[in-house]
Amino acid sequence: MFKKFTLKLSIFNFSILISLIGFIFMTTMRSYEFKAESIFEVSSEEVEIASQGLLGSFIGPSSNNANIVKSFLESREASSLFKESLDINKIFSNGNIAYFSRYGSLFWDQSFHSYYRDKVKIIIDTETNAVIVQTFAFTQEDSLRINLEIINMASDFLDRTTRLASFNAKTQRVCDLYYVNTDIFENNGITFDPDESIISESTSANELLLQKAIDFQNFCIQMLNKKQESASNSLGIFPLYEIKSINAEASKKILLEIFEDSMNSVSASNQLRIIAEPILPELPESKKLFLYTLLIFLSSTIVLLSLRILIRLTDELQT
């Protein structure tokens, strides 16, 4: 029966019917969306912009920084923070939005992360390495508000990672302070065994790294406080006052670096430079009804023609 129906069916009429159904669906069952767009640049200076290792490291090129920010804004952590910051039900699930455009409808019956990725587009300009943020919503005000929230999330991310890296750097300086004040003939290095329980007790990677840095710093401070005895007799011909003078100069330099790191840890991030402000959109985005309707028509025509060819080839092989 299916074979006879397919062979007798008018390809043109069938494609027109499917296209009409698709047109009606896109017109009535999908809401118009408004797009707000902003552009910002991540500083190209050498800044610490990631959850660094225990002693920290530097990332320089602005292209790397821009891509790191992009990766964060597209992550599940970002969508979770976004969901906590804004009233998602009011913005994406209210009764004024067509059913198939709402979050939670049959088309979006999945995690919020997928819906978030559909409404927030992060693009890197290959020529300037600027970050382009495009946000979509069903009202002009919401699209602008979402865009500003994404910029705020990017700024918070940079602040958080910079402060963590700054704290890691201070940890290194404190341990350097201990190291330069220990016996110059000792070559045992710093042996530190972190408490493995922090892994099971931590709820985030940043908390884990921060706690390890704190434990390492406390360890070095304890070792530094214990190092109060006089210089070792193994100094031999080196005058004690010269050794103390060298240690004092090295300690002074390290203390200045600790002070600079402390300033970085409390100052807000200045790594974002807004190139283009998000503007309240005047008109909704085009649904491209003609284009999509044409694609539906062509797709249905090709599918039906392919079925007919397949059926006829099957019949010829069987005979």
More confident of the two residues 183 and 158: 158
pLDDT score of 83: 94
Mean pLDDT of the chain: 76
Token representation of residue 313: 């080839």
- Tell me the pairing of strands 272-276 and 120-124: unpaired
pLDDT score of 210: 77
Q: What phi and psi values does residue 39 have, to the nearest 5 degrees?
A: -135, 130
> Where does the pLDDT of residue 162 fall: very low under 50, low under 70, confident under 90, or very high at 90 and above?
confident
18, 19, 23, 25: CA torsion to nearest 10: 20
pLDDT score of 84: 94
CA–CA dist 318, 248 (Å, integer)? 97
pTM of the model: 0.68
> Where does the pLDDT of residue 90 fall: very low under 50, low under 70, confident under 90, or very high at 90 and above?
very high
300 close to 14: Cβ distance less than 8 angstroms: yes
101, 71, 79, 119: CA torsion to nearest 10: -20
pLDDT over 50 (residue 85): yes
CA–CA dist 220, 39 (Å, integer)? 44
Cα 206 to chain centroid, rounded = 14
Residue with tokens 């939005």: 97
pLDDT score of 60: 46
Least confident of 10-14, 43-47, 224-228, 285-289: 43-47
pLDDT score of 23: 78
Sign of CA dihedral 132, 117, 87, 36: positive
Domains detected in the chain: 32-163+271-295 (3.30.1890), 164-266 (no CATH)
33 close to 138: Cβ distance less than 8 angstroms: yes
CA–CA dist 136, 142 (Å, integer)? 8
Token representation of residue 247: 């240690």
- Half-sphere CA count of 70, side-chain side, radius 13 A: 20
Strand partners, 136: 35
Give tens-digit pLDDT for 297-317: 898 889 888 888 888 787 777
CA–CA dist 157, 72 (Å, integer)? 8
